Amino acid sequence: MIDIKLIRDNPDVVKENIRKKFQDEKLVLVDEVRDLDKTFRDAKTRADALRGDRNRISKEIGKLFGQGLKEEAEAAKQKVRDLESELQALEEKEVELEAEIRQRMMLIPNIIDPSVPIGKDDSENVEIEKFGEPVVPDYEIPYHTDILNALDGLDLDSARTTSGNGFYYLMGDVARLHSSILAYARDFMINRGFTYFIPPFMIHGNVVNGVMSFAEMQNMMYKIEGEDLYLIGTSEHSMIGRFMGKVLPQENLPYTLTSYSPCFRKEVGAHGIEERGLYRVHQFEKQEMVVVCEPEDSPYWYEQLWKNSVDFFRSLDIPVRTLECCSGDLADLKVKSCDVEAWSPRQKKYFEVGSCSNLGDAQARRLGIRIKGQKGNYFAHTLNNTVVAPPRMLIAFFENNLEADGSVRIPEPLRPYMGGQEKLVPAEKKKNAI
């Protein structure tokens, strides 16, 4: 949510930003907010004047009675009652206007950074940099579900029976590898100075409205029936919510946090053949990083966050690239965002494994997260980024570490978490070895 002063003083800037995001249907919101805001301020000015008159006349009533001017005193009391009636109507009008203004303000997109490329959708995102050499081996790389099935590590059929499409069972060494990657990600971020958290996995509706747009909420969040609780789609939601309504001492900033959680997503919409298996699922686990900082420091932390993801994947010998999200691909709360994509030797292309975002003060405005500085209180900036999100990350892991004989190499950083194992061997080969 942007500062309403920007709409008052520079509506054309707000409208141009909307055009850059190809959301022309929202242009009307700017004029509606300006009109409603003027009506609200007029009502507030009138209400303040009435309060002043009420207080002044109320003080005179006692004096009039004391002077024996009962008739004048009764007339003054009636005047106060009339003022009270008008004031009550104005106060009710203020509440209604505030709600209407906020409803529209929540739909107006954040002002994007000048460096963001202009484009309609993700097809116009811009590659920034590649890290690691993308290799296509001279042997076939099977689809990831076939690799996991050969390792006796995946059961989709039983999951469809218990839970439906978009769910899975991981088993044996594959399940252990999944947990090992998360444990390694946790320690990787702790070693970079981030504080580790395990947050609540359910949050109230006011937190949901604070951390994401309505459209995102509709497409992502599962609601608990009969309760004001939603299953989180990422730990960013509850981690940012932790600061809701707080005034943060300037000397305590930045807050650099890394959090583990399961994530639950509706994943509304049709998906292609490459999104079968573990690519797009309703439940997964993730290690996240979150920063709450001074406004002037958010560009620095944005760079640090995406670099952490790149370094993590490169430590596991997975080639990646960064992709700058264009204006039309940015969610409404974001100032700037980039995707981290991993190399798929089977598809001979990159695919998304994480996203880094600078949200400016949008979430802080919605949730009331302020910094107490030397010159008063002001809104903080918030950022988030994925460290790793298996099981999707497992697709990149298995494809890039698969060997010609069907075994899967375990990179050195993961071996301590895997009991010293150096590779995973297909179940059939294990049987033959016995």
The CATH number covering residue 14 comes to 1.10.287.40
Does 296 lie in the same domain as 151?
yes
242: Cβ–Cβ under 8 A, 6 or more apart, which residues? 199
CA distances from 273 to 112, 143, 160, 278, 279 (A): 33, 11, 18, 12, 10
Could you read off the pLDDT of 192-249 as tens digits, one per residue? 999 999 999 999 999 999 998 877 888 889 999 999 999 999 999 999 999 999 999 9
- pLDDT < 50 stretches in the chain: 270
pLDDT number for residue 282:
94
Residue 192 domain boundaries: 122-433
51 and 139 inside one domain: no
Same domain, 335 and 272: yes
Same domain (yes/no): 81, 199 = no
Nearest partner of 324 among 339, 344, 307, judged by Cα: 339
- Quick count: other Cβ atoms within 10 Å of Cβ 392? 24
349 and 253 in a single domain? The answer is: yes
Based on the domain organization, do 129 and 258 belong to the same domain?
yes
| Claim to verify: residue 260 and residue 231 sit in the same structural domain | yes
Q: How far is CA 215 from CA 108, 168, 211, 373, in A?
A: 12, 27, 12, 34
**pTM beyond 0.85, yes or no:** yes
Question: CATH number for the domain including 149?
Answer: 3.30.930.10
Residue 278, domain member (yes or no): yes
Q: For residue 291, tell me if it sits in a domain.
A: yes
Q: Are 181 and 285 in contact (CB under 8 A)?
A: no
Question: Do 154 and 24 belong together in one domain?
Answer: no
E strand or H helix at 31, and its extent?
helix 27-66
Average pLDDT, the chain: 93
Give yes or no: residues 141 and 65 share one domain: no
114 within some domain: no
Q: What is the H or E stretch that residue 339 is in?
A: strand 336-344
For residues 162, 425, 147 and 188, what is the CA-based torsion angle, rounded to 10 degrees?
A: 80
Q: Is residue 117, in this structure, part of any structural domain at all? A: no
Number of domains in the chain: 2
Q: What is the pLDDT, as a whole number, of residue 270? A: 47
For 15, phi then psi, to 5°, come to -65, -40
- Opening angle at CA 398, ends 317 and 290, nearest 5: 65
Q: Which of 73, 105, 137 is the last residue of a domain?
A: 105
Q: Rounded to 5 degrees, what angle do the CA atoms 103, 106, 108 make?
A: 115
pLDDT at 271: 54
Alpha carbons 394 and 390: distance in angstroms, whole number: 6
**Which pLDDT tens digit goes with each residue over 239-281?**
999 999 999 999 999 999 999 999 999 986 545 555 678 988 9
Instruction: Dump strand ranges (E) for 268-317.
Output: 283-293
Q: Read off φ and ψ for residue 156, nearest 5 degrees.
A: -85, -30
Same domain membership, residue 101 and residue 127:
no
The tens digit of pLDDT for each residue in 12-38 reads 999 999 999 999 999 999 999 999 999
pLDDT at position 68, please?
Answer: 81
Residue 416 falls inside a structural domain: yes
Q: Is residue 115 in a domain?
A: no
DSSP track, 121-160: SGGG-EEEEEES-----SS----HHHHHHHTT-EEHHHHH
Q: What is the pLDDT of residue 433?
A: 58
Please state, in angstroms and rounded to a whole number, the distance separating the CA atoms of residues 329 and 130: 21
| Residue 294: per-residue pLDDT | 97
Edge-to-edge strand ranges of the sheet holding 381-388:
126-131, 320-324, 336-344, 349-358, 381-388, 283-293, 255-264, 195-197
What does the alpha-carbon distance between residue 25 and residue 11 come to, in Å, rounded to a whole number?
15
Q: 182 with 274, same domain?
A: yes
